[in-house]
Amino acid sequence: MKYWQQVILYLLYHLHGIYSQPQLPEKAIRNSPSGSYAPQKVICPEGLHVRQASIQGPLASQEQEYVTSRASKSIPIWKEYLSRVRLHDFSVEDFLEKAEAEGGKAGETLPNVGLAFSGGGVRATLVGASVLNALDSRNEEASNARTGGVLQLSNYVAGLSGGSWLVGSWAISDFPTLPELNRTVWRLTNHNQPMDLATIFQYPHFIKVAKEKKKAGFLASLVDVWSAMISAHFINDDDEGNEVLFSSIRNVSHYKDHTAPFPIVTATSRYKGTGEIVIGSPTYEFTPEEFGLWHPSLNAFIPLDYLGTSMQGGVPSHDDYCVKGYDNAGFVLGTSSNILSQSANSQPSGTLFRLFSGLWRLCVSGIYDEALIPNPFVGLGVGFGPGSGYPGRCSGDFDLKKYNVLWAYLSSEDRDSDKLCLADGSFAGEDIPLWPLVIPSRKMDVVFAVDARSDGRQAGSLTGTGYSNGTSIYNAYLKSQLPEYSAYPFPKVPDPALEFTEKGLHQRPSFFGCNETSPLIIYFPNYYAASPTDVATVKATYTYKTYPSLSIHRKALNQLMFKLFKIAITTQATGASFEDGFSPGPEMQGVLDRVGPIDKTDWAACLACALIDRQRIRNGQPRTVQCETCFWQFCA
């Protein structure tokens, strides 16, 4: 490399460092129109309507503008990142030539990267946070390990359940560095267990907050109580987030500057609160701009500002008022993590349900264990066929007998219900929120998927411990194989009961879709690295007394109580800190040995190979020998 090129890269690196320094969480922005948790009736804006689309698009204009702007600014960041990951026989200039000439365009001239964080309670929040920190260039150790910077290059980040707590808390606090978010906001050394005496004493307060919504004349349920609890722990606000809306993310600096990934939180629906949740159940998404769903029979979205407004046929049902303030941030995160809908099972959520419902009956009538939202999509439905971007329901490949269990849900009965009953997105079997990222209109090239689900003998148990075994990503693949979902490109995934676990894919990073046209998925499962990381899903308090053998103590926990390595995480419930991360040691080599004999310093390069592969194809460039070796090692 010539001297002048080295000088330019040096300047770019340090210019990039202006927003790559450790950042404290900002206080959440209060923007509730009522000044409380309750929504408020307002005058309808002119032209308010439900936006309908096909899976080919268009996206919301605000989202499209966001991603376009972010990609256009990312050429220098790609240049800096690719210049330090030590790719052999690879020309950064040639790779970025098209982007330099035509401008940075996600999924066209530059790779389009998304991050997906699974459910799994606080375990998932912490595992996901450790991975984010490992990909963050503001973490000096991550940059030295050559994995830092992937976060800055990612255009989307999606979270579900415990993953939504991470994504939502992070975005609302203006996307700070993760150790600071944990240290100053999450307070996980407090007595946070749902049945802790200190928590129980707060229940009357949480119910009082939820009751404000009911008194104001809006739908309320036990999930509003749950949401108040979630908000108190994950929203950086002195009033526990009662006046903070999810749409407030639009007002934080990194969002306004388009220097952070576009956040998405997902949930699923239970038809009229009684229907069965299955793999074909609708997946709803909350973004800072919209609420809606991509589904074979209904692709529809409403501006998030006016969530809660009664709509009929895509326009307001009432001439005299609409609703604002329904998108309380805690309510969005509580909806995505609504485990109360599982109360029929012999789980702690059943105990919570009985406790909440007993107290709730003292305050208001009517018991619902789903998050209730007035259905803005009543009377709508693009339907099957060309208008929706999906194949026809009369396709010769459609075996009604084979899929009759799912058919009622594929027809999206939600469009005929006056209210949506939303629950934890994982109840449909997809703990990783991959679905919104593989929608063709978002033109995703690669998704970094973090799986902190608990599978095996205690799968579904909120108190049991366990690691993921690939069930979630396999379920997403199975969904893509349903005829009505065939328009969604998704890589082939082996059966967890057979090839997946036989190959040890649940124990180390893997690439799916290496030689397919679908988005490439970098699968990153939570698994034992240097110490156990399989804490219970409902565990919310971490103290030295709980795990003395793992050397947990308050100071270490406030530094996020993980030890991170260049390839992976030793993850939560260890006494080491973020600052100890990425230390080359025998623990990391043990994780790499699960992949095969590969030098431990190659992981960062292999990660880069996966990120650039789809753009390499668009550029008409061959894979390098180094990347071919990486794919041979990591491709499932």
In CATH terms, the fold of domain 3-634 is Cytosolic phospholipase A2 catalytic domain (3.40.1090)
Range of weakest confidence among 156-170, 247-261, 333-347 = 333-347
For residue 465, the model assigns a pLDDT of: 58
The pLDDT of 68-92, averaged and rounded, is 97
The b/e string for 156-195 (b: 16+ C-beta within 10 A; e otherwise) is: bbbbbbbbbbbbbbbbbbbbbbbbbbbbebbebbeebebe
The helix or strand, by DSSP H or E, that contains position 158, with its residue range, turns out to be strand 156-160
Q: What percentage of the chain carries pLDDT values higher than 70?
A: 71
The answer to whether 415 touches 259, Cβ cutoff 8 Å, is: no
Whose tokens are 């993850």? That residue is: 571
Taking 80 as the threshold, does the pLDDT of residue 311 lie above it? Answer: yes
Domain boundaries, the chain: 3-634
Residue 11 contacts by C-beta under 8 Å, 6 or more apart in sequence? none
- Spatial distance between the Cα atoms of 543 and 525, rounded to a whole number of angstroms: 25
The helix/strand/coil state of 300 is: strand
- Spatial distance between the Cα atoms of 28 and 242, rounded to a whole number of angstroms: 11
Q: What is the DSSP letter of 291?
A: E
The mean pLDDT value of the chain amounts to 79
Measured from the Cβ of residue 399, the count of other Cβ atoms closer than 10 Å reads: 10
For residue 356, the model assigns a pLDDT of: 54
- Spatial distance between the Cα atoms of 201 and 506, rounded to a whole number of angstroms: 40
For residue 562, the model assigns a pLDDT of: 36
Residue 365 CB burial class (10 angstroms; 0-12, 13-18, ≥19): exposed
DSSP 406-460: HHHHHTTGGGGSSEEEEE-GGGGT--S--HHHH-GGG---EEEEEE----GGGTT
Taking 60 as the threshold, does the pLDDT of residue 331 lie above it? Answer: yes
- Spatial distance between the Cα atoms of 332 and 318, rounded to a whole number of angstroms: 25
Residue 567 contacts by C-beta under 8 Å, 6 or more apart in sequence? 509, 588, 591, 592, 600, 603
**Is the model more confident about 409 or about 267?**
267
pTM of the model: 0.85
**Is the model more confident about 417 or about 590?**
417
